[in-house]
Structure 1
Amino acid sequence: MERAQEEMKYAGVFGIYRKGHQVMAAHRNIFNQITLAFILPLCFIYLAEMLISEILFSKQPSYIFGQNTYKHTHHLPVYIIFNLAYYTFLVIFSLLSTSAVVYSVACIYSNRTISFNKVMGVVLRVWKRLMITFFVIYVFTFSYVVIAVLTLNLCLAIGGTASLVLFFIFLFMYIIGFVYLTIVWQLAAVVTVLEDFRGVKAMNKSRKLIKGKFWVALTIFIGLSILVAVIQFMFYVFVVYADSWAIWKRVLVGISCLVLLVPIFLYQLVLQTIIYFVCKSYHNETIDKPAMSNHLGAYERLSDPDEVQMEQV
């Protein structure tokens, strides 16, 4: 095992943070291009949804009968269309951002030359594989949330002190399970791009890789999630609900939140890829750089129509 992989095997939280910073600093040009093309629109959509939802749907008039409140339903079609559009664009830019960053970091690790044109060609090739994994992830997550909600409601339906105790026990278990599932699917996205796994197989591979390094990944996940939550809170307080503020102040704060959120999203994707290499090293799975280079090169050849035609001939 080469020295770099041996060092990566024992990398901790701060080591991974430092490695991520070094990768981004040394290849600032390509990551700036990826950020402008994919991550900036992703973050803009993420923040804009909060503001638009508040403007369009949170201030609807309502009728009150007894203890129940019934809102007008004539905005329901608009609400459905808006959410479909939001999640569609969110998924599209998430796929593009993940593919671009994972491929770029892997090229840097395997000493391949990289350019934005290559990244664009590979992204257009990889997104279909990644879409399968994303679909499986959403099915798992949706099923998990539905089961959790039904279980928590059943606990409350029992009544009494025992009901509250069960509720908080299952709530705590649900939060732990949801965090674990989130970490696994983040790594599964990297596995899909860098290995011949997708969907459920990528999830299983990710679950095996994360063993032994779960607490490291959890600490990084919590740290970045706190930063995102703080920015989201600032956006809600000073932009979405700051009706008494002048428009220019709200716009200024909104732009500031966007500027802060963009590098965090980029950094998170870079760290996910580095965590993948750390987990591979930890489990003594030799990272063959020439083989990885050939795997990445296959994406480039398949994304180049001229080369595909030559290969067919």
Structure 2
Amino acid sequence: MDREQEELQFLNFFGICKESTNIIFKWSKIFTKITFTLIIPLSCIFLANQGFSTFITNKIITNATTLDYIPQGSAAYNKISNLITSEWTAFWLIKLAYFMFLLIFSLLCTSAIVYTVACIYTGKEITFKKIMSVVPKVWKRLMVTLLWNFAIMFAYNFVWFIISMIAILIWLILFFPNGEVVGNVGSCIMLLLYLVGFTYISIIWQLASVVSVLEDTYGIQAMTKSKDLIKGKMGISSAMFLIFTICLVGIEMLFQQSEVIDWRINGVLVKLGYGILCLLLLTLLFLFGLVVQTVIYFVCKSYHHENIDKSSLADHLEGYLGEYIPLNSKNIQLEEYHV
């Protein structure tokens, strides 16, 4: 990064985007290698899941509709019923494989990008070989943080489910059957509140992933640290998250609407073109999003006047190349300064 740490706290939405873009272009060679090795496979996994899931789901719906017009117990009925069972088995096997590979490659990508940007920030000499040797060690710390995020998200959804059931019960008692307008408005408010909470937890987890790599804390401690860091920069972080999500959904919709996976339909070259376009857009989105995520970490540090000692951070990063020994928080965990 070309900016001094004191200047980072003043970066706004566009400043963070510009800083992230400059990092990617200035170190394009190393990011290109990471992209081809990790990010493109991650994008392929994401798109393949969307395509095959839609394809199999459509087949299941078609066969289930056909089954309604065939007498039960007939040979044709049993054949189609067995086919639907096989298709559901394939669907869930694909989902399981997708989840496993998505988890692995997403954590590997996060490890590689965060480590790379931190090395750039500290001025450390960095090579692709060095990055790939560090990634498996950082991956373990990120996994613990991710599991804690799953636990928190599960608890959040469980509590929200209980609250929703209570709200529905109250609505039935007070307004049913003439409270349709009240019910619709209440449902919209409940959904909006749920999305706000979901976004907040997701943003904290994303920053906690960076904390897990660059500091001596991970898991629930990293989530707590992230919650403190994000204060004051929640608006920018939320905007980044929402734009990333909108772009992700847009690419997914484009891929599904173009029916790239279904080769039975004419226009193979057009489908291939749409597939390549979606893959390119998704790869760039993942790369840019991970770099932005790391830059936001340094912006939050600067905003809270926590001065990162570059030499201590460099030693911390160097520790991944040998047997990892967590640094004492006083070494990398930053002393406060006042502007």
Fold shared, TM-score > 0.5 on shorter chain: yes
Q: 1:171 to 1:241 in 2, by over 3 A?
A: farther
Instruction: Report sequence identity in percent.
Output: 39
- Aligned mates of 1:4, 1:146 — CA distance in 2: 44
What corresponds to 1:223 in structure 2?
Answer: 243
TM-score computed with the length of structure 2 as normaliser: 0.82
User: 2:24 aligned with 1:24, yes or no?
Assistant: yes
- Aligned mates of 1:286, 1:209 — CA distance in 2: 13
Deviation at 1:166, TM superposition (A): 2.9
Kept after mapping to 1: 8 A contact 2:208/2:226 = yes
User: 2:129 aligned with 1:109, yes or no?
Assistant: no
The number of aligned residues is 297
Kept after mapping to 1: 8 A contact 2:260/2:274 = no
Find the partner of 2:310 among 284, 289, 300: 289
What corresponds to 2:38 in structure 1?
Answer: 38
What corresponds to 1:248 in structure 2?
Answer: 269
Letter matched to residue 279 of structure 2? L
Find the partner of 1:195 among 189, 195, 215: 215
- Aligned mates of 2:265, 2:92 — CA distance in 1: 30
What corresponds to 1:68 in structure 2?
Answer: none
Deviation at 1:239, TM superposition (A): 2.3
User: 2:102 aligned with 1:82, yes or no?
Assistant: no
- Aligned mates of 2:271, 2:168 — CA distance in 1: 41
Deviation at 1:244, TM superposition (A): 4.8
Kept after mapping to 2: 8 A contact 1:155/1:167 = no
Q: 1:31 to 1:90 in 2, by over 3 A?
A: same
Q: CA offsets, 1:60-105, max 9 Å, x none?
A: 122559xxxxx84443433332211110000000010000000000
Kept after mapping to 1: 8 A contact 2:55/2:261 = no
Q: Which deviates further from its counterpart, 24-33 or 162-171? A: 162-171
What corresponds to 1:118 in structure 2?
Answer: 130
What corresponds to 1:277 in structure 2?
Answer: 298
Q: Give runs of aligned pairs for residues 27-66 of structure 1, distance below 5 A.
A: 27-60=27-60, 61-62=63-64, 63=67
User: 2:13 aligned with 1:10, yes or no?
Assistant: no
What corresponds to 1:302 in structure 2?
Answer: 323
Q: Give runs of aligned pairs for residues 74-223 of structure 1, distance below 5 A.
A: 74-156=86-168, 158-159=171-172, 160=176, 161=179, 162-223=182-243
What corresponds to 2:73 in structure 1?
Answer: none
Deviation at 1:153, TM superposition (A): 5.0
Kept after mapping to 1: 8 A contact 2:107/2:143 = yes
Unaligned 5+ segments in structure 2 are 70-80, 325-339
Deviation at 1:231, TM superposition (A): 1.3
Letter matched to residue 217 of structure 2? F
Unaligned 5+ segments in structure 1 are 66-70, 304-313
What corresponds to 1:307 in structure 2?
Answer: none
Deviation at 1:5, TM superposition (A): 1.1
- Aligned mates of 1:291, 1:96 — CA distance in 2: 24
Deviation at 1:57, TM superposition (A): 3.1
Deviation at 1:241, TM superposition (A): 8.7
* Secondary structure of the structure 2 residue equivalent to 1:75: helix
- Aligned mates of 2:43, 2:97 — CA distance in 1: 15
Q: C-alpha root-mean-square deviation of aligned residues, in Å?
A: 2.2
Kept after mapping to 2: 8 A contact 1:188/1:205 = yes
- Aligned mates of 2:105, 2:164 — CA distance in 1: 34
Deviation at 1:34, TM superposition (A): 0.5
Kept after mapping to 2: 8 A contact 1:100/1:119 = yes
Q: Which deviates further from its counterpart, 39-48 or 73-82? A: 73-82
Q: Which deviates further from its counterpart, 215-224 or 21-30? A: 215-224
Q: CA offsets, 1:229-251, max 9 Å, x none?
A: 22111111112598754222112
Q: CA offsets, 1:27-59, max 9 Å, x none?
A: 001100000111000011001101111222332
